[in-house]
Amino acid sequence: MEDMFSPLIEVENLRREINRHNQLYYVQDNPEISDAQYDTLIRRLKELEEAHPELVTPDSPTQRVGAEPLKAFGIVNHPYPLLSLANAFSDTELEAWYQRVKKLLGNIPFQIDCEPKMDGLAVALTYRNGKFATGATRGDGFQGENITRNLRTIHSIPLNAEPNAPPVFEVRGEVYLSKNGFAKLNRERADKGLPLFANPRNAAAGSLRQLDPSVTAERPLDIFIYALGYSEDSLLPDSHWQILDYFSKIGFRINPLNRLVNTLEEAKEYYRQMAANRASLPYEADGVVFKVDSVSLQHRLGDVGREPRWAIAYKFPAEQVMTRLKKIGISVGRTGTLNPFAVLEPVNVGGVVVKQAALHNEDDILRKDIREGDTVIIQRAGEVIPEVVAPVLSKRNPESKPFRMEESLFNPNLNRTACPVCGGEIYRPAGEAMHYCANVSCPAQFERQLEHFVSRGAMDIRGIGESLSVILAQQGLVKNVSDLYYLTTADLLQLPRMGEKSADNIIDAIADSKTRPLDRVIFGLGVRHVGNETATLLSRHYGNIWALAKTGLGELQTIPDIGDKIASSIVAYFSEEKNVAVIRRLEEAGVRLTSDQKPVNKNMPFSGMEFVVTGKLESFSREEAQEKIRSLGGTAKDNVTKATNYLVVGADAGSKLTKARSMGVKELSEREFINMLEQS
């Protein structure tokens, strides 16, 4: 009897598990398992449903394409559903697909499009009468979220189609974040103490589904168009390849690595090359998509279930391996954060030997239940630091205990928790995920801080990298960052393996860094939660370091994007006499501490005019409007003051409008503003 019931029970368990992971992946952008593990669950469910068709229900995850749209966005009905593709995981499965297509088409020859499968977020873009009208996520394939305003911030999406384009058409594409863009975004989030994104796909999805388009605009998103959804024009060619070529010619971005081939062998060769080169691609790709090129043959082949018969996604093998987690180590970051990391039995992942992996913080370790001594799954995604995905529970030592940061930081000699480097006291601010070393003179913190100060995004002092920073700090030659500017060639020559030539070069590079823009100096100081974006805001608002040093919470909080946490951190930093002394010594050494706003060109149309943009504009984002103002010689500010000449008012304008009215500032509607731009 048990055998008769077990498929039903397994199917129900699988559905519950898959639905939970769908929710985590699509709605919360916070997956717990790898894509490969997810695919395994789906495949098992499909197998069972094929063997027991009576168990298939309309709401089974195999019958759906994605997740339900978030209600916070408007809903868009897709006139033609965005189907998902069947997957192949081996040459045999690809061959089976090819033979099936061949059989269904009789003797008609067909060509195959080969395209990298971008690991991003699928979107549908509709153009009406030459204008980008609606942009939507895939959602469940039938209904998606209306994210038009967010998509407008992506520069490679044309806002207008050329005049002889079809009157109404929909193109589909994948929005993605490059590997570099992803690394930069996570660095900035780390600086601000925000949780990191797990991978570029989640970062792209999270960026695109922001309720505030100005947040999306700051993320370096890009798009490749991979298909025509539909078009009110029957004159388009019968070839997918030629259709994409047409859209490429009228300004849409098409992946230059796409190929059109004639045989299965060529298709396999394309896959092999892409799989071999995936690490060097500037973006994440998780496989190759093969499509029958002829549109009329695509129609003839049709769909099966919710998957088109004329296309298949051949996935790359996941770069995941198992190894033993020997120990959870703790390193000290530049703002005193205590960062747990996994010390691993060295293991080869996709051609790279991995000895350590990121573990983020205690909450993350407890959520994944990772313990010292566990066998764990390690994943490396592109250039990103490898991470521990999950423990293998079946291989766990029954005596193992959950990881506790406090226990791990306990120092028996001091009989309390202590910084593993300096023995300083530990604290964890309320509401934060990180523990900190409280010792302001912690040598490990200062080494990281010095590395940060000289790094490319800050003062960019070439010749002083990670290792020299550590040596300078450990030898006591540099006790705070201002000491750099008082170093002499003779000082450097005391160091091991330092030649006269390199010492001279380093002294020159240090001198050269004295003229870096103010935002880089502010960023370099390493104030907790002040990343480079915040540093830029502060530099623009205050114009020189002493104005910033004297500021109070009240004024900081009037600056958009500066929250309470950042504001109190800034005030705390400048209230330390020690920090102010460092800045004074930087100034005495000749480091520039004022911003170098470009002198205003008196002959430009907006010269001498100060604008504030408020509310939501139809035609551009706030940043785009500000950029236009600056490009015509005007000043764009975030706050209404006595100096404001014009307030550009979009929809839902709030307190700035009230303030502007009370001060008698001239208001401009979006239409009036556009007229002004056009007349300039």
Instruction: Rank residues 175 and 442 by Cβ distance to Zn ion and give the closer one.
Output: 442
CA count, 13 A, side-chain hemisphere, 388 = 34
Task: Write each residue from 442 to 471 as x if it is in contact with Zn ion (CB under 5 A), else as -, in one continuous string.
Answer: x-----------------------------
Query: What whole-number distance in Å separates Cα of residue 147 and Cα of residue 134?
Result: 8
Instruction: Rank residues 120 and 193 by Cβ distance to Zn ion and give the closer one.
Output: 193
- Shortest CA distance to 324 belongs to which of 349, 342, 351, 350? 342
Residues within window 243-262 making contact with Zn ion, judged by CB under 5 A: none
Instruction: Rank residues 434 and 566 by Cβ distance to Zn ion and give the closer one.
Output: 434
Residues within window 416-445 making contact with Zn ion, judged by CB under 5 A: 419, 421-422, 424, 437, 439, 442
> Over the range 208-223, which residues count as b (16 or more CB within 10 Å of their CB) and which as e?
bbbeebbebbbbbbbb
Query: What whole-number distance in Å separates Cα of residue 226 and Cα of residue 244?
Result: 7
Instruction: Rank residues 329 and 463 by Cβ distance to Zn ion and give the closer one.
Output: 329
Instruction: Rank residues 442 and 676 by Cβ distance to Zn ion and give the closer one.
Output: 442
CB 339 to Zn ion: min, Å: 12
> Over the range 298-312, which residues count as b (16 or more CB within 10 Å of their CB) and which as e?
beebeeeeebbbbbb
Region binding Zn ion by CB under 5 A among candidate stretches 415-423, 474-482, 536-544, 618-626? 415-423
Catalytic residue selected from 103, 117, 368, 514: 117
CB 438 to Zn ion: min, Å: 8
Q: Catalytic residue at 514?
A: no
Binding-site residue numbers for Zn(2+) are: 419, 422, 437, 442
Binding-site residue numbers for NAD(+) are: 35-39, 84-85, 115, 138, 174, 291, 315
Query: What whole-number distance in Å separates Cα of residue 312 and Cα of residue 292?
Result: 9
Helix (H) / strand (E) containing 292: strand 285-292
Judged by CB under 5 A, does residue 215 bind Zn ion? no
CB 414 to Zn ion: min, Å: 12
Cα–Cα–Cα angle for 612, 613, 616, rounded to 5 degrees: 165
The answer to whether 333 and 448 are in contact (CB under 8 A) is: yes
Residues within window 65-94 making contact with Zn ion, judged by CB under 5 A: none
CB 349 to Zn ion: min, Å: 32
Chain-centre distance of CA 506, in angstroms? 34
Question: Phi/psi at 530 (nearest 5 deg)?
Answer: -100, 100
Query: What whole-number distance in Å separates Cα of residue 540 and Cα of residue 534?
Result: 10
The answer to whether 222 and 175 are in contact (CB under 8 A) is: yes
Residues within window 531-560 making contact with Zn ion, judged by CB under 5 A: none
Tokens found for residue 560:
């958009």
The answer to whether 306 and 83 are in contact (CB under 8 A) is: yes
Binding-site residue numbers are: 35-39, 84-85, 115, 138, 174, 291, 315, 419, 422, 437, 442
- Shortest CA distance to 440 belongs to which of 587, 332, 563? 332
Instruction: Rank residues 177 and 437 by Cβ distance to Zn ion and give the closer one.
Output: 437
CB 426 to Zn ion: min, Å: 9
CB 81 to Zn ion: min, Å: 57
Region binding Zn ion by CB under 5 A among candidate stretches 126-134, 216-224, 411-419, 592-600? 411-419
Instruction: Rank residues 357 and 419 by Cβ distance to Zn ion and give the closer one.
Output: 419
The residue count for binding Zn ion (CB under 5 A) is 7
Task: Write each residue from 602 to 641 as x if it is in contact with Zn ion (CB under 5 A), else as -, in one continuous string.
Answer: ----------------------------------------
CB 419 to Zn ion: min, Å: 3
Query: What whole-number distance in Å separates Cα of residue 384 and Cα of residue 357?
Result: 10
Amino acid at 473: A
Query: What whole-number distance in Å separates Cα of residue 143 and Cα of residue 330?
Result: 46
- By annotation, the residues acting in catalysis are 117
List residues binding Zn ion (CB under 5 A): 419, 421-422, 424, 437, 439, 442
